[in-house]
Amino acid sequence: MSLRLGDNAPNFTAVTSLGELNFYEYLGDSWGVLFSHPADFTPVCTTELGRTAALNEEFAKRNVKPIAISVDDVKSHKEWISDINDTQNVSVQFPIIADEDKKVSELYDMIHPNASETVTVRSVFIIDPAKKVRLTLTYPASTGRNFNEIIRVIDSLQLTDKHKLATPVDWSNGDSCIVTPAVDTEKAKELFGKVEVIRPYLRYVKQPNK
């Protein structure tokens, strides 16, 4: 069964490149990005894990913990990490799940039989500290993911969880935000200051704390 937004992210215990871990315990009170890979030593995945490692400080300052998964074993993962570090000039510090029995892949519906019966597609799950699924993305095996977009979504989720706002098309951190319909204009002025009213339902304010 596929996971939907707002569902509880299933917990699991798995062997990883950093030893055995319980998913919920690993996340603690952090946000999480769980993302799957078709196999070790594949070129697109190598660039993706390298990019994730390069973004380590960006994830950390947002209280986000990444965790990757593929159906290969721990020995293969550790050998692959050496290749990633060498070819991408990074240091992979986050865990990679060794999902040989496909237990986690099936739990998160990461195997799409019409694409491949044996390997995971490129799935992404953003999970909040309450262990709720807040975003799902699925990419074909041939297309590398955009980690700038993943960071952008995390910024939007964390902002809009705190304030009664939404973020418009192509928004990035620091841009103007949209007042949600549940907040009238006078209340919006109290909360956010100047309100630019384009239509009664379309109102912009500066991003708080920027």
pLDDT tens readout for residues 58-91: 999 999 999 999 989 999 999 999 999 999 999 9
Taking the C-alpha atoms of residue 124 and residue 34, their distance in angstroms, rounded to an integer, is 6
Q: What is the mean pLDDT of residues 124-147?
A: 93
- Whether pLDDT at 136 is above 70: yes
Which residues are catalytically annotated?
45
Q: What is the 3-state secondary structure (H, E, C) of 127-167?
A: ECCCCEEEEEEEECCCCCCCHHHHHHHHHHHHHHHHCCEEC
Model confidence at 103, pLDDT cuts 50, 70, 90, reads very high
The pLDDT of residue 206 is above 80:
yes
**Would you state the torsion angle of the CA atoms of residues 167, 160, 143, 99, taken in this order, to the nearest 10 degrees?**
-170
The more confidently predicted of residues 139 and 180 is 180
When pLDDT is cut at 50, 70 and 90, the band that residue 118 belongs to is very low
pLDDT given at position 1: 55
Residue 139: the pLDDT is 87
pLDDT of 169-205, one tens digit each? Answer: 999 999 999 999 999 999 999 999 999 999 999 999 9
Instruction: Report residue 121's pLDDT band, with 50, 70 and 90 as the boundaries.
Output: low
* Angle at alpha carbon of residue 120, lines to 117 and 125, rounded to 5°: 140
- CA 29 from chain centre, in angstroms, equals 15
Q: Which two tokens stand for residue 43?
A: 């070129």
pTM of the model: 0.92
Please report the pLDDT score of residue 109 as a whole number.
Answer: 87
